[in-house]
Amino acid sequence: MHITFLTYGTDGDTRPLLALAHEVIARGHDAHVLADVAGAPHAQALGIPFTVLPGDMRAAFLPGGAFSALMKDGADMTRLMRA
């Protein structure tokens, strides 16, 4: 069986999927993870095939990042996720 895991979040979203992919591989299946660049070193350390998605979630929340104007205006999480 081949399982592809996809997330576009920070480490808190990516690391649990890497652990799950690691277990899937340990049980003899194929797994591949697609996620933010921050997960790449962790995937490499575990020997998990990994594809970096475009963008950088951490940078998006920094001043001047994609979400900074929304956060500055006091956006709630629903509005932020829609953006």
User: Given a cut of 80, is residue 82 above it in pLDDT?
Assistant: no
54 pLDDT tier (thresholds 50, 70, 90): confident
Helix (H, G, I), strand (E, B) or coil at 75: coil
Mean pLDDT of the chain: 86
How far is 81 from 23, CA to CA, in rounded Å? 30
Could you tell me which residue, 2 or 80, shows the higher pLDDT? 2
pTM metric for this prediction: 0.74
pLDDT-above-70 percentage for the chain? 83
Distances (CA, A) of 20 to 14, 29, 36, 72, 73: 10, 12, 17, 35, 37
Q: Rounded mean pLDDT of 32-54?
A: 94
